[in-house]
Amino acid sequence: MRSWLSPTPPSRLRRQWRSIRTLVAIATVLAIVCLGIGAAADTASASNAAAGLGDDRELTVPAWLTVFTGGVAIGASALLAALVTDRQLVDTLHTWSLPLSPSVRDSPDHTTPSSALAPHLRELASGLWWLTGLVGVAALVGTVVVGLTGPGRVAPTANLAVILSFVGLRSLLPMVAFLVGNPWPALDPFRRLARALTALGEGVMHLLPPIPSSGSTGTDGTDTRAIADGGPGLLAYPSALASWPAVVGLGTLVWLELVLPVTSDPALLARLAAGYTIYTVAGAILFGSNAWFRRADPLATVFRLYGAVAPIQRRRDGRGLTLVLPGSRLRDPDLVTDASEVAFVLLLVWELTFNGFVVTPPGSRLLAELVGAGVPVAVATLAVFVGGYAVALGLYWLAASTARRTAPTYLSTATLARRFAPPLLAIAAGYHVAHYVGVVLSLSPAAVAVVTSPLSPPLNPTTLALPGWVGTLEIGALLAGHLLAVWVAHATAFDCFPGRLQAIRSQYPLIAVMVCYTAVSLWLLTLPTVQPPTLAG
């Protein structure tokens, strides 16, 4: 084997230089497109919307900032993929970690402070675990009860159900998941209810013949206390279903969010929350909590995948937390395990794009034309949503197939698609911040007022007028998500391909997909917000 210190043969240097020139040429073309998007307007009117919640607003973002962001994203992508080829450096960065909670295993000397504090820390963690579980159940009960009995159409932002669902669950908690760490295993009220009902039915379950577990668990970093709470269900989870129920479930939630007046009719929102509770708790009891919340529940899957972006992760042995570099977990080969989870990752990316598209003039015009042609609003929205998702999924699969030709390998297209899907979560995280940070900041005073007084909230809760720097934050979030995605994809390529040239060439089509998504996201941020026909109420 050639030493790292030995000189590189001239022929190999020429091949490397040709690969770098090709990548830079592709990046230059894409940069021109991206820069053209930013230069199309003197100022960009960035905006956010969460299914019609909150007032329309415009944030003036200088066109030069949009242009600069696109150029930096493209240039950094090319340089990163072409120049950082030291496998040892890549491995060192992705495997770095710092334990955040001591355990007895960390110190063989039982007299050390670490081992002496460990039992107390475990007791504290257990108490916090149950406390957060009670908070989650209380939030669910409050959503249903206050949604049915509290303030209605006059002031939807004065209703606890709307605030908890859209400011909390829809906007803020995913940010916590990918910026800090996944809070959902501790908060998940559906898992807690399923656990309680399973415990109540233990006497009946013991009378039934034992049914072997489906064993649908994975080493995905989820807290073992959160999944080892129901055992096998009445039926084994069908392995052929994989995570397709979660894909369909998330798509249905996004569609209902747009076609129903859930932000202006809290009673309707409460009924939907109750229906979802019945559905997911029944599924957990029927198929077992382990399999259901790992494979079929859309909310648990969303937070599990977003949590992989975060800097705080659970240790592999399940004993405590560790600090890692953001996105390090995305390199793990067991994060996305099959085609259904690839489809779920692409759906996470697409639903954010779709939510941003339908509240812009082009999206609103498209839906209005379909409705004007006699297509029902719900059907028109579903057609655009499913059609766009099919295009996004097809383009990604085409990129994975093209990667096999640019870097010939024995790996199948399905394997490459599975391995390169996790980096897209970083782009989705960046766009989630860009899409929802304004909602969280604007409605934060209303959220505080409603949560502290859910039964008698102010009739017209205060909302914040967003400062201009929020637009800069949105652009920065998109840039950070793109750069992290390219870096993780770069590391993944070196995992999949033994040769440096193979690893570089494999990234041509995949980085092109990432760049196109970032460019589309920037374009959507430059457009003002309008009210499409689907946002009723």
| Closest to 175 (Cα-Cα) out of 406, 390, 438 | 438
* More confident: 42 or 145: 145
% the chain with pLDDT above 70: 72
Q: Give yes or no for residue 83 having a pLDDT over 80.
A: no
Helix (H/G/I), strand (E/B), else coil: 103: coil
Q: Give yes or no for residue 406 having a pLDDT over 50.
A: yes
How does residue 361 score in pLDDT terms, banded at 50, 70 and 90? Answer: confident
d(CA 193, CA 282): 10
190-194, 232-236, 326-330: least confident range: 232-236
Question: Distances from the Cα of 373 to the Cαs of 79, 369, 370, 380, 434, in angstroms?
Answer: 48, 6, 5, 10, 33
- Best-predicted range by mean pLDDT (16-25, 64-73, 139-148, 452-461): 139-148
Question: How buried is 331 (Cβ within 10 angstroms: 0-12 exposed, 13-18 middle, 19+ buried)?
Answer: buried
Q: What's the pTM?
A: 0.83
What are the tokens at 420? 């390169």
Q: Give yes or no for residue 180 having a pLDDT over 70.
A: yes
d(CA 425, CA 334): 15
What pLDDT digit, counting tens, does each position of 215-241 carry?
444 444 444 333 334 456 788 999 999
pLDDT at 315: 81
| Closest to 473 (Cα-Cα) out of 111, 8, 36, 48 | 48
The residue type found at 395 is L
pLDDT at 282: 95
How does residue 97 score in pLDDT terms, banded at 50, 70 and 90? Answer: confident
Q: How far apart are the first and last CA of the chain?
A: 69
Give me the torsion for CA of 421, 423, 425, 429, rounded to 10°.
-160
How does residue 77 score in pLDDT terms, banded at 50, 70 and 90? Answer: low
329 with 484: CB under 8 angstroms? no
Phi-psi region of 231 (alpha: psi -120 to 50; beta: other; left: phi over 0): left
Helical pair 423-452 and 298-307, crossing angle rounded to 10 deg: 110
pLDDT at 48: 43
Q: Give yes or no for residue 395 having a pLDDT over 90.
A: yes
Mean pLDDT for the chain overall: 79
> In this structure, are strands 312-314 and 59-62 parallel, antiparallel, or unpaired?
unpaired
d(CA 280, CA 307): 21
Q: Give yes or no for residue 376 having a pLDDT over 60.
A: yes
Q: Give yes or no for residue 70 having a pLDDT over 80.
A: no
21-30, 65-74, 118-127, 302-311: least confident range: 21-30
The helix (run of H) or strand (run of E) holding residue 419 is helix 413-420
Q: What is the mean pLDDT of residues 320-345?
A: 93
